[in-house]
Amino acid sequence: MSIVTVQLGQCGNQIGFEVFDALLRDSQSSHGLCCKRENEAYQASCKERFFSEEENGVPIARAVLVDMEPKVINQTLSKAAQSGRWKYGQHACFCQKQGSGNNWAYGYSVHGPRHEESIMNLIRKEVEKCDSFSGFFIIMSMAGGTGSGIGAFVTQNLQDQYSNSLKMNQIIWPYGTGEVIVQNYNSILTLSHLYRSSDALLVHENDAVHKICAKLMNIKQISFSDINQVLAHQLGSVFQPTYSAESSFHYRRNPLGDLMEHLVPHPEFKMLSVRNVPHMSENSLAYSTFTWAGLLKHLRQMLISNAKMEEGIDWHVRPPSSGLPSLGKKSLNKDLHFNTSIANLVILRGKDVQSADVEGFKDPALYTSWLEPVNAFNVWKTQRAFSKYEKSAVLVSNSQFLVKPLDMIVGKAWNMFASKAYIHQYTKFGIEEEDFLDSFTSLEQVVASYCNL
Amino acid sequence: MRGRRVGAAGARAIAGVSRSLPSDHSPRSSGRAKFDRPDDSAPWQLLLPRALPIPAGKRLASIALGKAALPALCFARANPRAALPAAGSVGWLLRAEDLCPRQMLPDPSGPLGDEMTVWGQCDALASLGPPAPHMETEGPVDVRHVQWLMGKLRFRWRQLVSSQQEQCALLSKIHLYTHGCHSDQSLGHLSVTEAEMLRDPEGGQQLLRTLEQENRRLEAVLAWRRTELVFWQWMDTVLGTCAPEAPAAASQPTFLPWVPECGDGELELVVRELQTLEEELREAAERRRVAWEAKARGCGRGPEWSATRRASQETVEKELGALQRRWEQDSGPAQAHGPHRLVRREDGAAGDRDLRAAELIRTLRSQEACLEAMLRQLQGQCRQELARVAGALPGLIWIPPPGR
């Protein structure tokens, strides 16, 4: 079943390009470590999901590009066309001549309604091209102006018009020391709106990805392109084809639906993060070998200790011992060093994947008391290797990973709000103090729910 | 062994039984049998070792079950609304069919898509009874777990809707692409089954063969049902004359080589087995009945029980009344029942027995509105109950979840 991607703003469009590029490059690679027939099935499945075919055989990304400035969209379109391997649809983009000055309210209340019809028309055309449509993948930043404001508006519209389709928002969490002074306002407004209209919020933190580039990939001058490529690699390892649970001869038809059903059925717990191992530069890759046991051990400890990457993991963090009564768990987690999970999905790709032992993830101590590991944990195993990594594992987790960052952003935004700083920029375009208060309330509720696991 | 003359009716009955037995059963021609008794006992010889060692009651019961299952197979649950697109310029019809071949088979995958059975109104109305008088609790349940499960259900529902939309799109394509291929001009295009048969003729042949086999067995069962009584009466007489002559049978030449297990006293054994089985069944039935009565008695005759019963009766009467009223209201155009086939027509012309999709959609929508009203009413009742419970506890603040 096909997924339609909506790329919003500078951030969304640049990341979107890297994602499609990574997906197609991997599907066409010959390093899959599997037979030709398997490779063809993998390719076909990936294509059906993310691309449509044109007469001359060049795959066209199932995407709609939206931005208020033409520059980034033009760059994105030409980069794709230049690759020669795929491209965007000719009429799949919508852009204007003016920006929105990082003003969330302007994006949400002015740009959104003004261009609603055109944008929704583009999306509808893309959806109609799909023989079978599974849902939307919306890529946007949380703290910018265009991406975040319009993104919130568009997601709400999708909720109204396509209430039965799935919606996953890929959100970029801004740098802690970001340059946009109102980024915390934008963030809380975006998050609270998306929490109501989206099904799942897949979060990537700029800080974390930046560290991966610096420490693991050894990149000296980190550009946005490097960051986006790391991101695309993580998303690719989640969304490339995986075997279905029932039969290991067919790739699953609806990974988005299966993922959501496993991880985010509860309306209060929608925040997902991604961790993947291994991650290194191509040069180092040639000299490294991995074992499933080693990879999974690292991944598990990353989950427990809330590490963002496989370097610098705190190995002292342990799950609470099972001898204690379940009520005791709450007091132990007060320091929040131990990351309690609601649900986890581990996706393994590569050689000897059937021998990988994931028992460590089925420990009840890792999970909250009201969900058994048999329901909370799922693993998808696929023989076909991903993107030159002989073995790779990715973890999509609904856990307390994002509680601290969220709490920090809400705190900072509240401090600014208490002194009414910059509020007039928002009230000027219809976002009242009431709306801010609503946002604070709902996000406090989210933080509280996650803390009480 | 001397048996009575079978007679024509008995012969028909016996033939019916033999045809209804599984096909790996090989009825031998009586010419090959070695008898020195009158021919009329030959068919009995054929059947007895096969039929009786398996308790006769069981085999006939399975035939009866097969017959009872037929209506269930034919009237497979259909969802016409899902197969039809939103109102557009193209006319959709449901063409009545005399035979719905696919649905005659025990097909576990369900109806294919553009063949469906139209029911009367009663099918679509869900009967929601009053909630169970008591709940089983296995300890405190975390409400978050319940919310989790509800969420999973919602996702499954949405995926179901997506799948149905996909199915509709594909159906539409098949109808569009095969336009002009059908020999019947009034239909114009192929149905999914027909397209599938063209694509895979071998599969179609196989289907046909299976159908014919089923038909033969069903006809045999019907024939058997008609003559069953005669057969058993005749069997009684045979058993009656057979038993006292058992010792004399020993001096007779042996039976057919393919009936090795039949010897002296075998018949006695079989009869005794039948009797023991009957005893066992009777005992088992008795035990069940006693257990059920004890359970029913245990439900109590107290005021709670009669109150629940009264509530149930009232609900049933109310629903019956609503049903009847609706019947009278919509008794206008008589809706055809039975198997129908989805046809796409540009001109919108319809025959007598054809249903317009638009009308069907209208009816279903009104039924949906009815059910939604019922749902809202029940939700209101739940909310009132919750408010009452919350109000009874001092200091409890009720915060409803944020609505969309």
Tokens of A283: 């040069």
Is any Cβ of chain B less than 8 angstroms from the Cβ of A165? yes
- B155 and A265 Cβ atoms separated by less than 8 Å: yes
Is any Cβ of chain B less than 8 angstroms from the Cβ of A261? yes
Q: Do domains A2-273 and A282-320+337-400 have the same CATH topology?
A: no
| Per-residue confidence (pLDDT) for residue A332, from 0 to 100 | 46
CA distance A440 to A385: 43
Q: Which amino acid is at B224?
A: W
| Per-residue confidence (pLDDT) for residue A328, from 0 to 100 | 44
Chain A, chain B: beta-carbon pairs less than 8 Å apart: 64
- Using a CB-CB distance cutoff of 8 angstroms, which residues of chain A are in contact with residue B400? none
- A444 and A403 Cβ atoms separated by less than 8 Å: no
State how far residue B145 is from chain A, nearest Cα, in angstroms: 6
Provide the CA B162 distance to its chain's centre, in angstroms: 28
Nearest chain A residue to B140, by CA: A370
- Using a CB-CB distance cutoff of 8 angstroms, which residues of chain A are in contact with residue B144? 266, 268, 370
| Per-residue confidence (pLDDT) for residue B126, from 0 to 100 | 40
Q: Which H/E stretch holds residue A166?
A: strand A166-173
For the four alpha carbons of B53, B54, B59 and B60, in that order, the dihedral sign comes to: positive
* Pick among A261, A270, A438 to test the B interface (most B CBs inside 10 A): A261
Nearest chain A residue to B152, by CA: A265
CB atoms within 10 A of CB A48: 20
Going by the DSSP 8-state scheme, the letter that residue A20 receives in this structure is: H
The verdict on a CB contact (< 8 Å) between A132 and B145 is no
CA distance A188 to B320: 54
| Per-residue confidence (pLDDT) for residue B330, from 0 to 100 | 62
SS (H, E, C) B293-328: HHHHHHCCCCHHHHHHHHHHHHHHHHHHHHHHHHHH
The verdict on a CB contact (< 8 Å) between B155 and A261 is yes
State how far residue B137 is from chain A, nearest Cα, in angstroms: 16
CB atoms within 10 A of CB A305: 17
CA distance A133 to A143: 30
State how far residue A198 is from chain B, nearest Cα, in angstroms: 11
Banded model confidence at residue A52, pLDDT cuts 50, 70, 90: very high
Tokens of A21: 């590029």
B75 - beta bridge partners?
Answer: none
- Using a CB-CB distance cutoff of 8 angstroms, which residues of chain A are in contact with residue B142? 369-370
Decide: helix, strand or coil at residue A11: helix
| Per-residue confidence (pLDDT) for residue A333, from 0 to 100 | 46
- Percentage, residues of chain A above pLDDT 70: 95
Tokens of B365: 């929508």
CB atoms within 10 A of CB B388: 9
CA distance A224 to A228: 6
Tokens of B264: 């002296």
Q: Exposed (0-12), middle (13-18) or buried (19+): which is A67, by Cβ within 10 Å? A: buried
Give the residue carrying structure tokens 């919020």: A201
The verdict on a CB contact (< 8 Å) between A260 and B155 is yes
- A338 and A332 Cβ atoms separated by less than 8 Å: yes
The verdict on a CB contact (< 8 Å) between A254 and B155 is no
* Pick among A370, A372, A439 to test the B interface (most B CBs inside 10 A): A370
Give the residue carrying structure tokens 């005791």: A328
Which residues are CB-contacts of B200 (< 8 A; sequence separation ≥ 6)?
none
Pairing of strands A133-141, A93-95: unpaired
| Per-residue confidence (pLDDT) for residue B92, from 0 to 100 | 62
Is any Cβ of chain B less than 8 angstroms from the Cβ of A370? yes
The verdict on a CB contact (< 8 Å) between A370 and B156 is no
Of A145-149, A172-176, B117-121, B178-182, the poorest mean pLDDT is in B117-121
Pairing of strands A166-173, A200-205: parallel
* pLDDT tens-place string over residues A312-367: 888 888 888 754 444 444 444 444 578 999 999 999 999 898 899 999 999 999 99
CA distance A86 to A93: 16
CA angle B159, B162, B163 (to 5 degrees): 85
Q: Exposed (0-12), middle (13-18) or buried (19+): which is A322, by Cβ within 10 Å? A: exposed
- Using a CB-CB distance cutoff of 8 angstroms, which residues of chain A are in contact with residue B155? 166, 257, 260-261, 265
Q: Residues in chain A, how many?
A: 453
Q: What residues in chain B have their Cβ under 8 A from chain A's Cβ atoms?
A: 142, 144-145, 147-152, 154-156, 158-159, 161-163, 165-166, 169-170, 401-402, 404
| Per-residue confidence (pLDDT) for residue A371, from 0 to 100 | 92
Nearest chain A residue to B165, by CA: A132
SS (H, E, C) B183-247: CCCCCCCCCHHHHHHHHCHHHHHHHHHHHHHHHHHHHHHHHHHHHHHHHHHHHHHHHHHHHHHHH
The verdict on a CB contact (< 8 Å) between B150 and A268 is no
Please, what's the largest Cα pairwise distance for chain A? 65
Query: Beta strands of A284-405 (E only): which ranges?
Result: 341-350, 377-382, 391-399
State how far residue B124 is from chain A, nearest Cα, in angstroms: 22
Decide: helix, strand or coil at residue B37: coil
Q: Exposed (0-12), middle (13-18) or buried (19+): which is B32, by Cβ within 10 Å? A: exposed
Complex ipTM, two decimals? Answer: 0.91
- Residue A265 has its nearest CB partner, among B142, B152, B162, at B152
Q: Which amino acid is at B399?
A: I
Domain ranges of chain A: 2-273, 282-320+337-400, 404-452
Decide: helix, strand or coil at residue B255: coil
Decide: helix, strand or coil at residue B345: strand
Among candidates A229, A152, A136, A237, which has minimal Cα distance to A197? A152
- Using a CB-CB distance cutoff of 8 angstroms, which residues of chain A are in contact with residue B165? 132-133
State how far residue B26 is from chain A, nearest Cα, in angstroms: 40
Q: Does the model's pTM come out above 0.80?
A: no
- B47 and B18 Cβ atoms separated by less than 8 Å: yes
- B238 and B4 Cβ atoms separated by less than 8 Å: yes
Encode burial over B345-364: b for 16+ CB neighbours within 10 A, e otherwise: beeeeeeeebbbbeebbebb
Average pLDDT, chain A: 90
Is any Cβ of chain B less than 8 angstroms from the Cβ of A158? no
| Per-residue confidence (pLDDT) for residue B40, from 0 to 100 | 41
Is any Cβ of chain B less than 8 angstroms from the Cβ of A85? no
CA angle B315, B320, B325 (to 5 degrees): 125
Pairing of strands B91-96, B338-345: antiparallel
- Using a CB-CB distance cutoff of 8 angstroms, which residues of chain B are in contact with residue A164? 158, 161-162
Cα→Cα distances A418→A271, A405, A435, B193, Å: 27, 20, 14, 68
CA distance A300 to A296: 6
- Residue B152 has its nearest CB partner, among A159, A197, A261, at A261
The superfamily in CATH containing domain A282-320+337-400 is: Tubulin/FtsZ, C-terminal domain (3.30.1330.20)
Q: Can you spell out the DSSP letters for B97-160?
A: -S--GGGGS--TT---SSEEEE--HHHH-----PPPSS----S---HHHHHHHHHHHHHHHHHH
Domain ranges of chain B: 142-178, 189-240
* pLDDT tens-place string over residues A245-285: 666 678 888 999 999 999 999 999 999 999 999 988 877 88
- Using a CB-CB distance cutoff of 8 angstroms, which residues of chain A are in contact with residue B145? 370-371
- Residue A257 has its nearest CB partner, among B147, B148, B159, at B159
Among candidates A433, A289, A269, which has minimal Cα distance to A351? A289
Which residues are CB-contacts of A281 (< 8 A; sequence separation ≥ 6)?
A216, A217, A218, A219
Q: Residues in chain B, how many?
A: 404
For domain A2-273, give the CATH number: 3.40.50.1440
| Per-residue confidence (pLDDT) for residue B141, from 0 to 100 | 83
Decide: helix, strand or coil at residue A123: helix
Backbone φ and ψ for B355, nearest 5 degrees, come out as -110, 140
CB-facing half-sphere around the CA of A218: CA atoms within 13 A:
6
The verdict on a CB contact (< 8 Å) between B404 and A196 is yes
* Pick among A134, A156, A164 to test the B interface (most B CBs inside 10 A): A164
Backbone φ and ψ for B36, nearest 5 degrees, come out as -125, 35
- One pLDDT digit (tens) per residue for chain B, 404 residues: 344 455 566 566 566 556 655 544 443 433 333 333 444 443 333 333 333 333 333 433 333 333 433 333 333 333 333 333 343 434 566 665 554 444 444 444 444 456 665 554 433 344 444 444 445 556 778 899 999 999 999 999 999 988 888 888 888 888 888 887 777 777 777 777 778 778 888 988 898 899 999 999 999 999 999 988 888 998 988 888 876 655 554 555 555 555 445 556 788 888 888 999 999 999 999 999 988 888 877 665 667 778 888 889 899 888 888 888 877 766 555 555 666 777 777 666 666 667 778 888 888 899 999 999 999 999 999 988 888 888 888 777 766 665 43
CB-facing half-sphere around the CA of A278: CA atoms within 13 A:
23
- Residue A266 has its nearest CB partner, among B147, B158, B165, at B147
Is any Cβ of chain B less than 8 angstroms from the Cβ of A265? yes
Going by the DSSP 8-state scheme, the letter that residue A338 receives in this structure is: S
Nearest chain B residue to A376, by CA: B148
Banded model confidence at residue A440, pLDDT cuts 50, 70, 90: very high
Nearest chain B residue to A267, by CA: B151
* pLDDT tens-place string over residues A212-256: 999 888 888 999 999 999 999 999 999 999 987 666 678 888 999
- Using a CB-CB distance cutoff of 8 angstroms, which residues of chain B are in contact with residue A270? none
- Residue A131 has its nearest CB partner, among B147, B152, B169, at B169
pLDDT at A434 over 80: yes
CA distance A310 to A294: 11
Is any Cβ of chain B less than 8 angstroms from the Cβ of A377? no
